[in-house]
Amino acid sequence: MKRLCSAILLGTIAVLPLTGCGGPGTEFDGTNTTSVGDGTTLKVYNWGEYTGENLLQNFEEEYHCTVIEETFDSNEMMYTKLEAGDQYDVLVPSDYMIQRLLNEDMLQPLDYGIIGNIDLLQEDCSGLPYDPENEYSIPYFWGSVGIVYVKDKVDRTALEQKGWEILRDPQYKDRIYMYDSERDSFMIALKSLGYSMNTDNKAELYEAYDWLVEQRELVSPIYVTDEVIDNMLNENKDLGVMYSGDAAYVLAENDNLGYYEPQQGTNIWSDAMVIPKNAANPDLANEFINYVLTYEASQDNTETVGYTSSNAEVFRDESSEGGMFYQNEAYIPRSGYDKDEVFEDNTTIRQLLSDLWIKVKAG
């Protein structure tokens, strides 16, 4: 899940050259060193604006190598390039896409002889359904989907009573942002109807489709992506569906905004680091994953980007008194609630959801 922070955009490809990596047999300085052969460059494929300000440069300096980071704006875009044979050492896809990559045998197991920092992982990020043993993936960021609202325009009690249904309340006609994503939008409709967001029951999916069509007719929502961040920050609408990391950012900048996860349940998501089977430098890739888990790197990531850290100590410090996200209700996703779910990849409904979402927006 990517966010557009207030920093200057880095562009599609960020190349951060320092010194070349050592030759064959060279060991890299770090917590867990290993021979990485003749690898000189690490290629990382990540969401745009999803990397700490100093993370890549610090890794280069510590491991004497060059990092090339390319960015994508959807899991599907990442998948298309990987399927076409493009070669990367580390990817950061979302949960359901990791499940798809595993099902298609496109990932290699992690090397826990190198990744000793697994013990630093936040408990909520460990043993997720798509990779219960963390054999192939280590969470990078995690969070939820919820509603950002303008406090003096939306009554919190009404929000708690209605949950997702408030997004169909006619009093907010032309005052609502919906995220332009079939997965998230159908999740909202299905949860509001009392169904699992992973249902493959076509009757339930068509009922959710009707819910979204009726929403469009009742309130004329604006379908947006990253622009929701600045628009909600400036209170251009009263309600907006947002990822928790984006919400944490806008709440930190505007005290008149709140964040709410409806009791009907929501999506608890994670984006995780994986190594594709065709990686050129898997040892260095494992070193990078191990490095990202360190306190320094994880803190840099979360403070730059605003999303919830997968490092347990960083998570605790940032959300405690004195931390950057102290009392920021969007920074701490709800944990252990039985109506919350993780997305699963489902080939039988993938195209159906895409087709129905086009019809919803087309009217």
Q: What does the pLDDT profile of the chain (363 residues) look like in tens digits?
A: 544 333 323 333 344 333 344 332 333 333 333 344 345 799 999 999 999 999 999 999 999 999 999 999 899 999 999 999 999 999 999 999 999 999 999 999 999 999 999 999 999 888 999 999 999 999 999 999 999 999 999 999 999 999 999 999 999 999 999 999 999 999 999 999 999 999 999 999 999 999 999 999 999 999 999 899 999 999 999 999 999 999 999 999 999 999 999 999 999 999 999 999 999 999 999 999 999 999 999 999 999 999 999 999 999 999 999 999 999 999 999 988 999 999 999 988 999 999 999 999 998
Q: How many CB atoms lie within 10 A of CB 164?
A: 24
* Average pLDDT taken over every residue of the chain: 90
Give start and end residues of each alpha helix (H) in the chain. 55-63, 75-83, 95-103, 156-162, 182-193, 202-219, 227-233, 244-253, 282-292, 295-305, 312-319, 347-362
pLDDT digits (tens, 9 = 90+) for 61-119: 999 999 999 999 899 999 999 999 999 999 999 999 999 999 999 999 999 999 999 99
Nearest to 78, CA basis, from 96, 95, 92: 92
Query: What is the secondary structure of 49-84 as a DSSP string?
Result: T-S-TTHHHHHHHHHT-EEEEEEESSHHHHHHHHHT
Nearest to 142, CA basis, from 288, 230, 273, 45: 273
347 burial level (CB within 10 Å; 0-12, 13-18, 19+): exposed
pLDDT digits (tens, 9 = 90+) for 253-284: 999 999 999 999 999 999 999 999 999 999 99
Query: 0.75 cut: is pTM over it?
Result: yes
- Give the distance, in angstroms, between the CA of residue 163 and the centroid of all CA atoms in the same chain: 23
Tell me, what's the pLDDT at 39?
52
Cα–Cα distances (Å) from 155 to 24, 179, 191, 247, 337, in that order, read 64, 22, 21, 18, 24
- Does residue 105 come out as left (phi exceeding 0), alpha (psi in the -120 to 50 range) or beta? left
State how far the Cα of 86 lies from the Cα of 97, in Å rounded to an integer. Answer: 17
Cα–Cα distances (Å) from 222 to 27, 124, 146, 167, 231, in that order, read 53, 33, 16, 11, 11
- Local structure of 298: helix, strand or coil: helix
Q: How far apart are the first and last CA of the chain?
A: 27
